Amino acid sequence: MRQRRLTPNQSLIIVNALLLGALGYVSFMPESTAHAQPARARGDYTMVAGEVSFGNSSAVWIVDSANQELVAVRWNEGKKNFDGIGYANLQEDAKERPGR
């Protein structure tokens, strides 16, 4: 008994059909609650620039008042990107230091 071989075009059609089926499955399946993230409020941002006491660069502090978060970044000229200096959850910090 001789086995029939698929042509390259037939192989590509089968692979594309399988990929299309996988994409359809992933697109229409319900989102798992284990992977669902809580809804995040739309941010209300304020940025302030200033000098830092370490290094020879300036920093930018970005406050998201809607989500009560603060992040500090500085520009890294060698890598041409921002480096994170720090993060603070202002709501949690306020709970740790009542009366301030």
Q: Has residue 18 got a pLDDT over 80?
A: yes
Owning domain of residue 56: 45-96
Q: How confident is the model at residue 40 (pLDDT cuts 50, 70, 90)?
A: confident
The answer to whether the beta carbons of residues 60 and 48 sit under 8 Å apart is: yes
- Indicate whether 91 belongs to any domain: yes
- Indicate whether 10 belongs to any domain: no
- Indicate whether 77 belongs to any domain: yes
Q: Has residue 72 got a pLDDT over 90?
A: yes
Q: Has residue 34 got a pLDDT over 60?
A: no
- Indicate whether 23 belongs to any domain: no
Domain count, the chain: 1
pLDDT (mean) for 52-65: 86
Q: Has residue 99 got a pLDDT over 70?
A: no
DSSP letters spanning 40-77:
-PPP-EEEEEEE-SSTT-EEEEEEETTTTEEEEEEEET
- Indicate whether 71 belongs to any domain: yes
Name 72's bridge partners: 61, 86
- Indicate whether 66 belongs to any domain: yes
Show the tokens assigned to 84. 């994170």
pLDDT, residue 20, reads: 93
- Indicate whether 58 belongs to any domain: yes
